[in-house]
Amino acid sequence: MSRGLKTTIAILCVLVVFGLITLPSLRQAIQRVSGNPRTEEQARREVMQIPISTPTDVKVKAQMYWLSATSPVSLEAATIELPLSADPVERAKQLLIALVADAPTPNQRTLPPDAILLAFYLQPDGTGVADFSDALSAETPSGIQSEQLTVDSIVQTLGANVSLIRQLKILIHGQEVETLAGHLDLSGLFPVPSATAAALPVPPAPGLGQSGSAIPSPAVPAQAKQTPN
């Protein structure tokens, strides 16, 4: 056996031993990668499902609009205690997350339980932009009435608790969609009832003025006006 051949065999043996040593960790890595990949929405959802808390949170009595327990074709105001931020954007997020998660009974839900608020923006002119996951569109019961109740519960809840939002644009997964679930037009802006925050007064957010007043909003569904673009 030549010297070169011996060297080659020795190197190969070292490599085989090294491979055997690293095999278990390689298998683990492959299993991790081949597992169900998390979509971007799942990742955002995990973050959003955690209730948001901010340094300015104060427990207040918030007015939420869910379906009436006695008449499922109208909304009813319910007062619950929520820690709400002084920052209107964070406050709106907290309210919308609570609107999905804290309905008194499943039958009073206005938004599907799987609907996730992905983002909320507030423009200086008072236009709020709520970006929901696909579940809002896919799981809202199809129909003019049911879709209108969904939108009304969102705008009335925001109007009752966040004074700076004048109108609302609803996006689905970051996109403008034609309808919520086949009927209600989402291409325009929904007017938010004027500042009727039922919550206790909160300190003004930096650069954004004061939010909160004490006039309750009526439990009648708003006429969701639509301004075509």
Partner 1 sequence: MAVPRTSFFLFVLILVGAWTLQAWPQGIPGPQGAPPPQAPQQPSLLGAPQPAPQPTQQVAQPTTPPRNTLAVVVLDPAHGGADQGARGSSGIAESDVVLSFARLLRISLEAQGLRALLTRQANEDPSFDDRSKTANAQRGAIFITLHVSSTGPAGTVRVYSLPQDGAPSMTAAATPARPLLVRWDSAQQRYLDLSRRLAELIQIQMAQRFRGSVETPTAAPVRQLRTVAAPAVAIEVSSVSLPDRVPLDKMAPVLADGVARAVAAFRLVYEAGVK
Site residues (CB under 8 A) for partner 1?
72-73, 141-146, 148, 178-179, 182-185, 187-188, 223-229
Beta strands in 30-100 (DSSP E): 58-67, 75-84
> Rounded to the nearest 5°, which phi and psi values hold at 212?
110, 130
* 160 Rama class: left (phi>0) / alpha (psi -120 to 50) / beta: alpha
* DSSP symbol at 183: S
Q: CB of residue 150 vs partner 1: minimum separation in angstroms?
A: 11
Judged by beta carbon, residue 137 or residue 146, the one nearer partner 1 is 146
Judged by beta carbon, residue 60 or residue 172, the one nearer partner 1 is 172
Q: CB of residue 223 vs partner 1: minimum separation in angstroms?
A: 5
Q: CB of residue 170 vs partner 1: minimum separation in angstroms?
A: 11
Rounded distance between C-alpha atoms, residue 67 and residue 147, angstroms: 12
Q: CB of residue 44 vs partner 1: minimum separation in angstroms?
A: 27
How many Å from the N-terminal Cα to the C-terminal Cα in the chain?
Answer: 85
Judged by beta carbon, residue 42 or residue 223, the one nearer partner 1 is 223
Judged by beta carbon, residue 6 or residue 225, the one nearer partner 1 is 225
